[in-house]
């Protein structure tokens, strides 16, 4: 049996289970309805004349603000036929009786236009604009309006003959003979724009399904299997552990696949009709890789926490987690900035959103800026490979956990690879990396703080499996801490190499290394303490307190990294600057925390 056939055969029971009874029919129906809803939503947002739809269009940069348009085109835009009739009558009565105290929009627009034209006639014009300036002066005189210089204390209207928008507005006013045109509001989008917007909505729903819903379902299902102790019988069937994990994921993903298929079709159809195919295909590929990684992450979380929390609680936690990451990613993708392009490497949600947007509604940031576009493509390519590798590592870890094979979830080299990949991705994503105003030490500390979480997870995965009575097993604490130190060293080397300033290492104060070493020691001990030994309430409180206290290493490192200023002995303990007592407490805790953690790990041995 080929590998693909084996995988299909492994997925069959879980897919059949997911589709049993009338479920398949219901999913297909829901999928079709979702597809129709996308089309309706696309048409509504594209061509609807309500304020909500208009706001969405403006958010995508497809429509300029109504005020700007009224100014620029010298029109009055109204929302109803009644308003249209009223405004048209008021506009027809222009120029108005100056004794009347009534205010209306046509009057206001007329006055504004008169001031604007007057200002234009009193502003020095380049030779090429003389004719237009004369036309403006003639217009005023033809309406019996004085061409006195505008009173700067009463009204101030800016005009510049060198501002194309000002000139265009003047032309519009002259063409309208000082009488604004009243227009009933309708969406300015063309059919092509509507197709693009519909495709963008489909892309958004597609991303949501693959990058939020899919890992949520996969993780919750694993949690349920663990919680209800139904996983063990499955490990005794003819499925290999890897097949079991992938098969389980396939069951949940088949539902997502059914729901996402029409969205992908709509996306590709709209792209084929009115967009760029390559970014869309790239977006789908990134979404699939991201879905794989996040599904493995969801399964790992479900497996690790399924025995401690109910699937419902865990599901809500996963939804919050993946939803939060998804929203952040979508925000970065929808509104990119040259400093945040690197985030595309770290968050597949950001990369997917960016690519789908680029295929249909490209952001102006990338217009004629090939360098930036290439940077984005590079970040996405590196990120996709990295995320894919992390997904594979997650699969390996799950395989060992579920199959209870191997001593730990990851081997030393796998953990090193994971640390390297996350380091590269985090350094790429660091917004301060390219900022000339960001100090180098800030860049280093930001990435170190971000990497603390994955490093802690990798170290937990390196700890030998905890089983009943595991407290009696000797834990290779020193060897594991050495691995963490190696990863941190790798991070330092890559950071300096990325900055292109390797000589900076010599300028670092020894106190920075002292705090860095202390932080890594505590981070490692905390990670091992959490997974390798049972935790009572007291231990939990102490671990949480220690984790909070460990964060104080960062301001200390930052303080001692400053290349300027005098470093006194008091700077070694920042709390000492508040009070001698707090300084003493800090000094005690600096020793007590690692000592207690070390003791709890070694004592059991």
Tokens of 70: 């009224």
Which one of the spans 289-297, 340-348, 433-441, 468-476 is the region binding other proteins (CB under 8 A)?
468-476
CB of 540 to other proteins, least distance (A): 22
Coil, helix or strand at residue 76: strand
Indicate the residue among 195 and 463 with the shorter CB distance to other proteins: 463
Using CB under 8 A, pick the residue from 33, 228, 265, 544 that binds other proteins.
228
Indicate the residue among 126 and 233 with the shorter CB distance to other proteins: 233
Indicate the residue among 113 and 226 with the shorter CB distance to other proteins: 226
- The answer to whether residue 8 forms part of the interface with other proteins (CB under 8 A) is no
Which one of the spans 227-235, 414-422, 432-440, 570-578 is the region binding other proteins (CB under 8 A)?
227-235
Indicate the residue among 389 and 475 with the shorter CB distance to other proteins: 475
- The answer to whether residue 147 forms part of the interface with other proteins (CB under 8 A) is no
Tokens of 117: 């034209």
Degrees to nearest 5, angle at CA 453 with 447 and 456 = 120
Indicate the residue among 99 and 468 with the shorter CB distance to other proteins: 468
CB of 315 to other proteins, least distance (A): 16
Q: What would the DSSP string read from start to end of 378-402?
A: HHHHHHHHHHHHHHHHHHHHHHHHH
Indicate the residue among 470 and 558 with the shorter CB distance to other proteins: 470
CB of 527 to other proteins, least distance (A): 20
Instruction: Report whether 255 contacts 209 (CB < 8 A).
Output: no
Closest CA to 216 of 290, 289, 288, 294: 294
Instruction: Report whether 361 contacts 62 (CB < 8 A).
Output: yes
- The answer to whether residue 59 forms part of the interface with other proteins (CB under 8 A) is no
Q: How far apart are CA 582 and CA 574, in angstroms?
A: 9
CB of 601 to other proteins, least distance (A): 15
Q: HSE on the CB side for 188, CA within 13 Å?
A: 14
Closest CA to 351 of 301, 390, 386: 386
- Categorise residue 21: left if φ over 0, alpha if ψ from -120 to 50, beta otherwise: left
> What does the per-residue mask of binding to other proteins show for 335-374, with x meaning CB under 8 A?
----------------------------------------
Using CB under 8 A, pick the residue from 80, 100, 165, 405 that binds other proteins.
405
Coil, helix or strand at residue 183: strand
Indicate the residue among 26 and 404 with the shorter CB distance to other proteins: 404
Bridge-based pairing state of the strands 75-78 and 181-184: parallel
Q: How far apart are CA 353 and CA 286, in angstroms?
A: 10
Closest CA to 492 of 549, 441, 562, 416: 441
Tokens of 429: 């994503």
Using CB under 8 A, pick the residue from 81, 98, 127, 472 that binds other proteins.
472
- The answer to whether residue 22 forms part of the interface with other proteins (CB under 8 A) is no
- The answer to whether residue 9 forms part of the interface with other proteins (CB under 8 A) is yes
Identify residues 533-562 at the interface with other proteins (CB under 8 A). Answer: none
Using CB under 8 A, pick the residue from 474, 534, 555, 563 that binds other proteins.
474
Identify residues 61-80 at the interface with other proteins (CB under 8 A). Answer: none
Indicate the residue among 229 and 579 with the shorter CB distance to other proteins: 229
Tokens of 248: 């389980």
Which one of the spans 143-151, 335-343, 391-399, 470-478 is the region binding other proteins (CB under 8 A)?
470-478
Q: How far apart are CA 71 and CA 296, in angstroms?
A: 54
Q: How far apart are CA 478 and CA 557, in angstroms?
A: 24
Angstrom CA distances, 45 to 108, 120, 160, stand at 31, 39, 37
Q: Which residues is 408 bridged to in the sheet?
A: 464
Size of interface with other proteins, in residues (CB under 8 A): 29
Using CB under 8 A, pick the residue from 137, 234, 440, 499 that binds other proteins.
234
Using CB under 8 A, pick the residue from 165, 190, 235, 310 that binds other proteins.
235
- The answer to whether residue 115 forms part of the interface with other proteins (CB under 8 A) is no
The 3-class SS string of 290-319 reads HHHHHHHHHHHHHHHHCCCCCHHHHHHHHH
CB of 23 to other proteins, least distance (A): 10
> What does the per-residue mask of binding to other proteins show for 156-185, with x meaning CB under 8 A?
------------------------------
Peptide bond preceding 95 in cis form (omega within 30 of 0): yes
Q: Calculate helix-pair angle for 440-462, 553-561, nearest 10 degrees.
A: 140
CB of 466 to other proteins, least distance (A): 9
- The answer to whether residue 26 forms part of the interface with other proteins (CB under 8 A) is no
Element (H, E) at 42: helix 23-47
Indicate the residue among 211 and 249 with the shorter CB distance to other proteins: 249
Phi, psi of 122, deg, nearest 5: -100, 5
Using CB under 8 A, pick the residue from 473, 494, 499, 508 that binds other proteins.
473
- The answer to whether residue 13 forms part of the interface with other proteins (CB under 8 A) is yes
Closest CA to 300 of 335, 249, 352: 249
Identify residues 117-136 at the interface with other proteins (CB under 8 A). Answer: none
Beta carbons within 10 angstroms of residue 405's beta carbon: 10
Instruction: Report whether 358 contacts 303 (CB < 8 A).
Output: no
Angstrom CA distances, 355 to 298, 351, 377, 379, stand at 24, 6, 9, 12
Using CB under 8 A, pick the residue from 2, 146, 148, 467 that binds other proteins.
467
Which one of the spans 230-238, 435-443, 477-485, 545-553 is the region binding other proteins (CB under 8 A)?
230-238
CB of 467 to other proteins, least distance (A): 4
Coil, helix or strand at residue 408: strand
Which one of the spans 5-13, 71-79, 83-91, 133-141 is the region binding other proteins (CB under 8 A)?
5-13
Instruction: Report whether 593 contacts 549 (CB < 8 A).
Output: yes
- The answer to whether residue 479 forms part of the interface with other proteins (CB under 8 A) is no
Which one of the spans 15-23, 87-95, 127-135, 267-275 is the region binding other proteins (CB under 8 A)?
15-23
Indicate the residue among 5 and 548 with the shorter CB distance to other proteins: 5
Indicate the residue among 80 and 405 with the shorter CB distance to other proteins: 405
Please report, as ranges, the residues that interact with other proteins according to CB under 8 A.
9, 12-13, 16-17, 20-21, 228-230, 232-240, 404-405, 467-474
């Amino acid at each position: 049996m080929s590998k693909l056939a084996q995988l299909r055969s492994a997925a069959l029971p879980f897919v059949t289970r997911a589709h049993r009874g009338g479920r398949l029919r219901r999913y297909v129906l829901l999928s079709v309805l979702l597809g129709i809803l996308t089309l309706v939503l696309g048409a509504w947002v594209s061509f609807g004349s309500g304020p909500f739809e208009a706001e969405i269009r403006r958010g995508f940069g497809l429509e300029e603000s109504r005020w700007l348009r009224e100014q620029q085109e010298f029109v009055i835009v109204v929302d109803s036929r009644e308003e249209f009739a009223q405004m048209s009558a008021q506009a027809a009565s222009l120029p108005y009786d100056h004794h009347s105290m009534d205010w209306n929009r046509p009057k206001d627009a007329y006055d504004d236009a008169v001031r604007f034209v007057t200002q234009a006639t009193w502003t020095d014009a380049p030779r090429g604009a003389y004719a237009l300036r004369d036309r403006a002066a003639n217009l005023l005189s033809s309406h019996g309006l004085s061409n006195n210089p505008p009173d700067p204390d009463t009204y101030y209207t800016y005009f510049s003959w060198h501002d194309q928008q000002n000139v265009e507005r003047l032309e519009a006013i002259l063409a309208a003979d000082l009488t604004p045109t009243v227009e009933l509001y309708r969406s300015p989008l063309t059919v092509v724009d509507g197709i693009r917007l519909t495709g963008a909505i489909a892309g958004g729903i597609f991303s949501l399904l693959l990058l939020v819903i899919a890992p949520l379902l996969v993780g919750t299902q694993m949690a349920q299997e663990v919680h209800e102790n139904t996983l063990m019988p499955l490990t005794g069937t003819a499925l290999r552990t890897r097949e079991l994990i992938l098969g389980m994921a396939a069951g949940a993903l088949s539902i997502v696949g059914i729901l996402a298929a029409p969205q992908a079709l709509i996306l590709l159809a709209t792209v084929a009709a009115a967009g760029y195919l390559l970014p869309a295909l790239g977006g789908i590929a990134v979404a699939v890789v991201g879905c794989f990684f996040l599904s493995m992450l969801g399964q790992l979380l479900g497996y690790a926490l399924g025995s401690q929390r109910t699937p419902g609680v865990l599901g809500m936690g996963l939804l919050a987690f993946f939803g939060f990451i998804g929203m952040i990613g979508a925000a970065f993708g929808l509104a990119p900035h040259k400093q945040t392009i690197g985030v595309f490497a770290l968050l597949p949600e950001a990369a997917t959103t960016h690519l789908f947007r680029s295929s249909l509604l490209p952001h102006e940031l990338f217009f004629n800026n090939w360098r930036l576009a290439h940077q984005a493509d590079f970040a996405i390519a590196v990120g996709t490979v990295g995320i894919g590798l992390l997904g594979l590592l997650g699969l390996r870890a799950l395989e060992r956990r579920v199959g209870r094979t191997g001593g730990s979830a990851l081997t030393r080299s796998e953990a090193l690879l994971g640390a390297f990949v996350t380091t590269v991705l985090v350094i790429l994503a660091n917004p301060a990396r390219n900022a000339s105003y960001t100090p180098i030490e800030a860049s280093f500390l930001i990435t170190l703080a971000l990497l603390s979480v994955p490093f802690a997870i990798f170290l937990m995965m390196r700890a030998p499996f905890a089983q009943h009575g595991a407290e009696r097993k000797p834990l290779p604490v020193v060897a594991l801490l050495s691995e963490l130190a190696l990863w941190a060293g790798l991070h330092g080397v890559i950071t300096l190499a990325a900055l292109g300033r390797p000589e900076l290492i010599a300028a670092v104060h020894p106190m920075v290394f002292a705090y860095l070493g202390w932080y890594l020691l505590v981070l490692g001990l905390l990670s091992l303490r959490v997974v390798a030994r049972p935790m009572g309430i007291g231990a939990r409180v102490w671990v949480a307190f220690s984790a909070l206290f460990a964060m104080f290493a960062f301001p200390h490192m930052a303080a001692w990294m400053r290349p300027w200023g005098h470093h006194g002995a008091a700077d070694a303990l920042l709390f000492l600057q508040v009070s001698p007592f707090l300084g003493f407490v800090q000094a005690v805790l600096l020793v007590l925390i690692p000592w207690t953690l070390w003791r709890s790990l070694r004592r059991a041995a």
